[in-house]
Amino acid sequence: MTAAPAFRMPDPLLQVRGLTHRYGPHIGCRDVSFDLYPGEVLGIVGESGSGKTTLLKCVSGQMEPTEGSVEYETRDAGLIDLFRMSEARRRLLMRTDWGIVYQNPRDGLRMRVSAGANVGERLMAIGDRHYGHIRSEAVDWLERVEMDIGRIDDMPHTFSGGMQQRLQIARNLVTKPRLVFMDEPTSGLDVSVQARLLDLVRGLVRTLGIACVIVTHDLGVVRLLSHRLMVMKGGNVVESGLTDQVLDDPQHPYTQLLVSSILPV
């Protein structure tokens, strides 16, 4: 058995070590470490104020943590600490290799430009200048997120919440990112709209092999989408592991409470 080859592990895409963020005397999140592998979907759950959004903002480069490191496997130069690279490089990374889907589509969309332009803009940001190509990519992505192509020239504020959220997803995925961060992507939507969006996200993540970090308070969402789960309470990660293991055999008192609090339908 000692002669058996070791299990082959790919290189992590994201490596987070000892991440702590304080808001003055208050703790946002404390001493969080994890690796995220290509194609892996990590769910972060916890009640409001548990630190999950703070953690997401720090690992997605939107906010510099007080302590700790967030390293990303860049295509050309290997693991680089997000907060040690130049601002320009970090912004390029966020525009190209990453996507961020916000809870409120208004935070992730440009409300005063058309749906097509919202998608095309990301392509232009990575240097695409061919109008015909940009237009056809935009059409393709709007179709993939099941939007009505007839509305490609309409402004996002004329769309329903579910459509805005789908547009936000198309805008993020058009550059074929390797990593997408999602903050409560379905919580502002009606249940039936939520279900369709979840099916869509699940299909896209699976077929494109995108790694994903999803923050939510909805255990149903993580059961459906995530491979792995981190449970947060009071800024600390109290439990983590394989999603079905954490949900079916929770070890920590808080996770047990969380799982037992789901109302049966």
17 binds other proteins (CB under 8 A): no
* Among 13, 40, 120, 152, interactor with other proteins by CB under 8 A: 40
- Report the DSSP beta bridge partners of residue 232: 237
Closest CA to 54 of 32, 84, 83: 32
Tell me how far, at minimum, the Cβ of 221 lies from other proteins, in Å.
12
- Binding of other proteins at residue 265 (CB under 8 A)? no
Size of the site for other proteins (CB under 8 A): 30
What are the distances in angstroms from CA 207 to CA 16, 41, 211, 261?
Answer: 26, 13, 11, 33
Tokens encoding 199 = 């099916």
**Cα(79)–Cα(206) distance, rounded to whole angstroms?**
25
Instruction: Give 53 or 194: the residue with its C-beta nearer to other proteins.
Output: 194
Per the CB < 8 A criterion, the answer to whether 50 and 233 are in contact is: yes
227 touches other proteins (CB under 8 A): yes
Min. distance of Cβ 5 from other proteins in angstroms?
Answer: 5
CA separation, residue 222 to residues 44, 185, 187, 198, 203 (Å): 8, 12, 13, 10, 14
Integer-rounded Cα Rg, in Å, for the chain is: 19
Return the number of the residue (77 or 191) whose C-beta is nearest other proteins. Answer: 191
Question: Is residue 5 a contact residue for other proteins (CB under 8 A)?
Answer: yes
Neighbours of 65 (CB within 10 A): 23
- C-beta closer to other proteins: residue 1 or 77: 1
**Selected range binding other proteins among 3-11, 57-65, 83-91, 141-149, rule: CB under 8 A:** 3-11
Q: What minimum distance in Å lies between the beta carbon of 14 and other proteins?
A: 13
Which chain residues interact with other proteins by CB under 8 A? Answer: 1-2, 4-9, 37, 40, 195, 199, 202, 206, 224, 227-228, 241-245, 248-249, 251-253, 256-257, 260
